[in-house]
Each structure stands twice: as structure tokens, then as C-alpha cells.
Chain A
Amino acid sequence: RKEVEQDPGPFNVPEGATVAFNCTYSNSASQSFFWYRQDCRKEPKLLMSVYSSGNEDGRFTAQLNRASQYISLLIRDSKLSDSATYLCVVTPPPGQNFVFGPGTRLSVLP
């Protein structure tokens, strides 16, 4: 089983739709969790950290379920500019390395 797995995608959704991505991780001792977005031929950019209590930033909501070992990202009211690849990142012990999931591609259509 891979360390970090994501919905394979691609997701093609109309503007204004709500879309959710899931990410599962294999190491139950993983310590920190993040979502990054990466536009085509650009660098990954931090979207949000994921906290145990869940967190929200505008249209974006991230949740962590340690018991089931998954994190999720919900995007409400999708915009064309949300089109990107969304990368789930997990840090297994001893906590120095970032382990990236394979990414989920989102295309928001007019």
C-alpha cells in the first residue's frame, strides 16, 4: 500500500459546484497534514494546513480523521481559478520528510 493515496481524478465540475477530495495515509503515527495546489508547470503552493479540529479558509474546508487515516478538502462555489492539481501532504515519523500524494486534478468549467 502506498504511503499516501488520493482520489485519482480528474474532476471536471461546473463553476459554482461543490467538490470534495479525499486522501488516505498508511502510517498511523503521521504527524502533520497539508493541502497544496499546483498549477500546470508551476511550483506547489500551500493551500492550508489540516488540524485535528478541522479548519476553514473562505470557500475551503479541510478535515482530518485520524481514526480512519484520511484527510479531506472541500471546495465550495468553485471558481475557474480553482483549476489545478491538489496535492495531499503527510509527514510520517520522525517528522522531517514531506510525503506527497499523487495529486488530484481539478478542472472547473464555465
Chain B
Amino acid sequence: DTEVTQTPKHLVMGMTNKKSLKCEQHMGHRAMYWYKQKAKKPPELMFVYSYEKLSINESVPSRFSPECPNSSLLNLHLHALQPEDSALYLCASSQEARSAYEQYFGPGTRLTVT
């Protein structure tokens, strides 16, 4: 079962709101990722968690705060976002955070910041 789930599917939030995106995988993968994708652009890496520890933060603004409560779950906490943060947020997982392993993506959360 190569499934990564994400909730919610869609989210509309104001610039003063606080919300969280959730991601779950039950494949026993030890690496999980957050990506941001704007329309007609490829996904851009935001964060990498390896064995529940943050291993890569691609200079993402602090209004995005990741959290990995356990090896199956990944959250992205959002606070004081800007309209330009509107995008598709994709979660992915892989067996380990090494290049040889394929990444499997969830369906994404489509975020609109008003």
C-alpha cells in the first residue's frame, strides 16, 4: 500500500488565522517531506524529516512550522500567512532520506490565503 494521505483537501484562511496541515503514511517510511507547488511550476522542497528529526529546512519563512509527532505523521503549522503563500502543499514519504529511494506523494492540500 503506497498511500500517503493529507487533510484537509482544501483550506481557505485569512492572514491572521492559525491552521495546520496533516499528513500520514503507513508504509513504514522513515523520511517525510513537505513541498510547495505553484500553478504550472514544479514542486519546491520546504522541509525534510529523517527519523522524526528535521534534517533540511530550505530557508522557509518562520510562518511555516513543521512538526513530526511520530514516524507516521507530519504536520505543517501555518500562522500569519501572506496571499503569495497560496499554493498546493504536498507531503511525500520515502523509505529513507537518501537519493536511491523513490518518494511517494499525497494528494496535497490546496491552500488559499485571503
A residues at B contact (CB < 8 Å): 31-32, 34, 41-46, 49, 87, 91, 95-98, 100-103
- Pair A97/B105 contact, Cβ less than 8 Å: no
- Show 16 residue pairs from A and B whose CB-CB distance is below 8 angstroms, ordered by the A residue: A31-B100, A41-B88, A43-B90, A43-B108, A46-B102, A46-B103, A46-B104, A49-B102, A95-B98, A96-B48, A96-B56, A98-B43, A98-B45, A101-B42, A102-B41, A102-B42
- Pair A42/B97 contact, Cβ less than 8 Å: no
Chain B residues with CB under 8 Å of A32's CB are 99-100
Q: Which of A43, A46, A98 is packed against the most chain B CB atoms within 10 Å?
A: A43
The main secondary structure of chain A at its interface with chain B is loop
B19, chain A: closest CB distance, angstroms: 20
- Pair A98/B98 contact, Cβ less than 8 Å: no
- Pair A97/B45 contact, Cβ less than 8 Å: yes
Chain B residues with CB under 8 Å of A31's CB are 99-100
Q: What residue of chain A has the Cβ atom nearest to residue B56's Cβ?
A: A96
| Option from A45, A46, A91, A96 in Cβ contact (under 8 Å) with B55 | A96
